[in-house]
Amino acid sequence: MDRRDLIAAFGPDLEIESFDENTMTATMRVPALAGAGSENITDKAGSENISEDEDSLERVPIKYEVCDTCEGKGAHVSASIDAHGITQSEWAEWDQEERESYRSGGYDTTCVECHGKRIVPEIDWENLEGRNAELSKRVRDHLEAQYEDRRAQAHEIEMGY
């Protein structure tokens, strides 16, 4: 899979290194558990300390889900047409041809999320949890931290910092 496809499928912030469609596993970079929990991690050999902020490459199970954005249709009406819904007055302004075009999907564009595939790869949390609860928690924490970062950044941009 191409890097661009990975970004399209998983989003730019998910640090997916590779995705193997045959085994349905992705390899991603996950930081080690940081904070209070890491104190409890002791190296079994008892020799070296485990670094708190060392990333590791982990394999996570992936499954396909029906795309939320287009609800599995592979296409949706272009956001520029009805992002805020179509008001009665707008509808009234359209001529017959435009209305027909809307109804028949003439304004549809390929889905921005699944790119027409109707399905999107998602982390198979249940499977991951069952296989490796600790890794599941690390991945979840990692994604939540990234989500918070993105929100903070968006907020800063909005506030004009």
How distant, in Å, are the alpha carbons of 92, 124, 129, 148 from that of 135?
Answer: 55, 12, 8, 20
Beta carbon nearer to Zn ion, 71 or 100: 71
108 binds Zn ion, rule: CB under 5 A: no
Beta carbon nearer to Zn ion, 26 or 111: 111
N- to C-terminal Cα separation, the chain: 37
1 by Cβ neighbours in 10 Å (0-12 / 13-18 / 19+) ranks as middle
User: Which x/- pattern, by CB under 5 A, does the window 31-70 give for Zn ion?
Assistant: ------------------------------------x-xx
User: Using CB under 5 A, which of 9, 33, 60, 111 touches Zn ion?
Assistant: 111
Paired with 75 in beta bridges are: 110
Min dist. Cβ of residue 82 to Zn ion (A): 16
Torsions phi, psi for 76 (to 5 deg): -150, 165
Beta carbon nearer to Zn ion, 118 or 140: 118
How distant, in Å, are the alpha carbons of 83, 100, 108, 152 from that of 91?
Answer: 14, 11, 17, 38
Min dist. Cβ of residue 114 to Zn ion (A): 3
Beta carbon nearer to Zn ion, 31 or 74: 74
Tokens of 81: 């047409």
114 binds Zn ion, rule: CB under 5 A: yes
Beta carbon nearer to Zn ion, 9 or 139: 9
Kindly determine how many residues on this chain lie close enough to bind Zn ion according to the rule CB under 5 A: 6
Residues in contact with Zn ion by CB under 5 A are: 67, 69-70, 111, 113-114
